[in-house]
Amino acid sequence: MASNEINPPNNKNFKFPILMITALVLGIFAAGSEELVISPLLLDLADSFNSTVDIVGLSVSIYGIAVIIGAPLFAPISDKISYRLSLLIGILLFLVGTIVCTLAGNIEWFFLGRAISGLAAGTFIPTAYAFVGEQIPYESRGKVMGAIVSSWSLSLILGVPLGSFIGGIFHWRWSFAILILLGITVAMLILMDLKGKHEINKIKYKDTEEPLVRSFIKALFKPNVFLIIVVTFCNMLGFYGMYTYLGSYIRSTLPLGDSITGVVLIFYGIGFATSYFSGKYADKIGKSRSLIFTMALLTIILWIIPHLSNFYWLFFFLLFLWGGMQSLTVTMLSTILSNCSNKYRGRILAIYSLTSNLAVTLGSALMGPIYVNFGYKIVSIVCAAISFLGFLISIKAYYNQPDKQQSIE
């Protein structure tokens, strides 16, 4: 191990960086809210820009492409110099992008704002995971990562409905304006935490002057990283392939009325918010063992969901359980990857972010024709099979690498 290696702290006399953890939770909540709030505001945006819903909907694709660009672009900064600096860059980009969206006078400027916001998410989110990997002891990392992952569900349960409500009562621009205030709060928390610290003036690794592509290849083939990345791809592909068409399936199957569909999906969101609590138990049981368990249970859930839709409360409980297991899986994947390498931690979690976004894109695209032509039960079989493949690979990863190994260079 290099002499300038930065090791994660251990639990002895450790003080949690409360300011930064709060900033990470609020930052991901803000990013998630801004990403998801577009859906209920599409009609208002189209009217405001004298455009159509399908054209305004391209802002979602622009955002996703920018996320994919931002993740590898800024990962070297976090690995070489400072995770806090990278987080600060990310939240400042978020503020710029959100301000541009708020003030946009035409669709072109709105697209630009969405692109900048996507760069921000691609910078902030993987760096947040990497920061937890550097600053939090491995034995306690599951619950902290779980709290950060749970903030995604809060954006679904609170952020999106609140943004939609504000946009409906006042104007869609106010939905973005509120997020500006949240972004300023996150930036202030990071700056307060940075006060008195000199890490930005230091170089963490003096031997990281290597070509960008080569460094990412090295990161990908660190012990066990490739296997966990494949599990990530299987998990997100299976999840998003199912979730994308869940709302349509509920509306076409359950005689509850279209307006109730969103309420039903909140059961999933509530389950997703439990990862902080389940992450604490995963810390005790072991991250790799927990990952095997969740991938196995997710395989079963994806397979049986369409078969229980007539049993309302059992179906609602299954949605809750699905959210909880998916949230815990994401927590375990990011936690395990955060411990595979100190030197390449930012790059590894950037690859993780890229893989997740790619799987999300492919999940909705590939399962769409299957849903239209064969129905949701066939989609569930395909997605369960993909999840089962991830389960098998997670077993391989478990035997490849002991659960409580120390982080390596």
Angle at 200 between CA 75 and CA 357, to 5 degrees: 20
* Local structure of 57: helix, strand or coil: coil
Q: The domain that contains 250 carries what CATH number?
A: 1.20.1250.20
Please report whether residue 377 resides in a domain: yes
229 lies in the same domain as 271: yes
Domain count, the chain: 2
The secondary structure of 168-207, three-state, reads HHCCHHHHHHHHHHHHHHHHHHHHHHHCCCCHHHCCCCCC
Whole-angstrom Cα distance, residue 261 to residue 47? 25
User: d(Cα 324, Cα 298) in Å, to the nearest integer?
Assistant: 10
Contact 384, 112 (CB under 8 A): no
Domain boundary among 176, 209, 242: 209
Q: Which two tokens stand for residue 248?
A: 């349509």
Question: Which range marks the domain in which residue 232 is found?
Answer: 214-400
Q: Final residue of a domain: which of 173, 189, 209? A: 209
Among residues 209, 229, 249, the one where a domain terminates is: 209
Q: According to the model, what pLDDT value does residue 406 have? A: 42
pTM above threshold 0.75: no
**pLDDT recorded at residue 188:** 92
Residues 146 and 246 in one domain: no
**Going residue by residue through the chain (409 aa), what tens digit of pLDDT does each one get?**
333 334 445 555 556 677 888 888 888 888 877 776 776 666 778 888 887 766 777 777 788 778 877 777 776 666 666 778 888 888 999 999 999 999 988 889 999 999 999 888 888 888 887 787 777 776 666 667 777 777 766 766 666 556 666 666 778 888 888 889 989 999 999 888 877 555 544 445 444 556 556 767 777 777 788 999 999 999 988 988 887 677 767 767 766 554 455 566 677 777 777 766 776 677 777 888 889 999 999 999 999 988 887 777 888 899 889 988 888 898 888 888 877 777 777 778 778 878 887 787 777 678 878 887 888 899 999 999 999 999 999 999 888 764 444 444 4
Compute the distance between CA of residue 395 and CA of residue 393 in angstroms, rounded to an integer.
5
